[in-house]
């Protein structure tokens, strides 16, 4: 899925965060967004993932502007074509590990049937088959993040948006998460990753730096 952002501008109260941001992401490609803490990376990812409506500008998916979509259609697009990996695992405490993984399917008609089996497969692949019945508080940070990753990939999204996916993780877990995310681009998916980690960023097809609300290319890798 290709993504194009035009003139994205956003502010909180009178504090500008994004100023006329442009971004293009071709299908089967990846981009890393870097920048200092508080520079607006999460806000930009929220706009690109249709979680936040910008003050100005628009985001288009496969050439179709999100401004022409109504709320249920944007929700459907988020659920079916975009996978989110949040800064923290964001697991629901009342749900078991596998139930957390299948949450996106709960809101998609016709997807729930095979979701449990798909979740088990993902957990197997992530080395978490023994923890499928555990609740989040019974899991380590690395295990929770891998479960969150499985949730993002459950419906095989065309685009994955990851916000600091390896932050706080030990080397092994960080490598696993990074490998999994970038493997998606080999399988036809697109990836936007916000990170402080230069090593992770350099695995992307392009690196962009967000500074003073502007997004500029750093280099092609």
Partner 1 sequence: MWSLIRQSIAMRKVQSASVLVGVVLGVASLFALFLLYQGVFSGIATSISRDGADLLVIPSDAESSVSDDDLLFTGAPVTMYFSSSVADQIAGIDGVERVTGQFYGQTLDASCCSSIGAVRLVGYDASIDWVIRPWATMDGGEIPSQLVEGEVIIGSNVKGFGVDDPKVLGNPVTVVAVLAPTGTDLDDCILMDIDQVRAISAATDGYGHYWEKYGDPTGLLSAVLVSVDDGDQDAVAAKIEALGGVHVIKSAEAVKEVQGQMRVVFQVMLGAGVLLAVASLAKLFARFFSMAWDRRRELALYRAVGASRRDISRLIAGEAAVLVGAGSAVGLVLGVGLYRLMLGLLTTQGGFPFIACAPLVVAGGAVIIIVIFAIAGALAVAAPLRQAGRIDPASALQQVDID
**Residues touching partner 1: how many (CB under 8 A)?**
34
Q: Taking the complex as a whole, how short is the minimal distance between the CB of residue 129 and partner 1, in angstroms?
A: 21
Nearer to partner 1, 26 or 173 (CB): 173
Quick check: 71 binds partner 1 (CB under 8 A)? yes
The answer to whether residue 138 forms part of the interface with partner 1 (CB under 8 A) is no
Contact segment (CB under 8 A) with partner 1 among 15-23, 58-66, 94-102, 175-183 equals 94-102
User: Looking at 41-49, 54-62, 201-209, 212-220, which segment touches partner 1 (CB under 8 A)?
Assistant: 41-49
Stretch that binds partner 1, among 88-96, 124-132, 170-178, 208-216 (CB under 8 A): 88-96
Sheet holding 82-85, edge to edge: 82-85, 159-163, 190-194, 30-34, 206-211, 214-220
Among 1, 60, 75, 132, binds partner 1 (CB under 8 A): 75
Site membership for partner 1, residue 80 (CB under 8 A)? yes
91 contributes a contact to partner 1 by CB under 8 A: yes
Listing from the earlier edge strand, what are the strands of the sheet with 56-61?
15-25, 3-12, 56-61, 64-65
Q: In terms of residues, how long is the chain?
A: 221
Nearer to partner 1, 42 or 190 (CB): 42
Q: Which long-range contacts (CB under 8 A, 24 or more apart) does 164-173 make?
A: 164/87, 164/194, 164/195, 164/196, 165/85, 165/193, 165/195, 165/200, 166/195, 166/197, 166/200, 167/87, 167/195, 167/196, 167/197, 168/141, 169/141, 169/142, 169/145, 170/142, 172/142, 173/142, 173/145, 173/146
Q: Does 84 sit near partner 1 (CB under 8 A)?
A: yes
Q: 4-23: which residues touch partner 1 (CB under 8 A)?
A: none
């Amino acid at each position: 899925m290709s993504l194009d952002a035009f003139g994205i501008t956003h502010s909180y109260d009178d504090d500008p965060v994004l100023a006329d941001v442009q971004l293009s992401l071709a299908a089967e490609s990846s981009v890393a967004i870097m920048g200092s803490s508080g520079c607006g990376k999460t806000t930009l990812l929220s706009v690109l993932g249709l979680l936040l409506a910008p003050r100005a500008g628009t985001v288009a998916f496969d050439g179709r502007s999100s401004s022409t979509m109504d709320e249920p259609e944007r929700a459907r697009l988020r659920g079916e074509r975009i996978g989110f990996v949040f800064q923290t695992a964001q697991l629901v405490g009342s749900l078991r590990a596998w139930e957390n993984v299948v949450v996106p399917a709960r809101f998609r008609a016709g997807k729930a049937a095979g979701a449990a089996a798909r979740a088990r497969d993902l957990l197997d692949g992530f080395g978490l088959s023994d923890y499928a019945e555990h609740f989040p508080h019974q899991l380590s940070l690395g295990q929770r993040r891998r479960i969150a990753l499985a949730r993002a990939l459950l419906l095989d999204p065309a685009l994955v948006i990851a916000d600091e996916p390896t932050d706080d993780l030990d080397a092994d877990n960080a490598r696993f998460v990074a490998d999994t995310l970038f493997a998606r681009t080999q399988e036809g998916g697109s990836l936007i990753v916000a990170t402080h980690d230069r090593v992770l960023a350099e695995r992307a097809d392009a690196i962009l730096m967000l500074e003073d609300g502007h997004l500029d290319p750093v280099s092609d890798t």
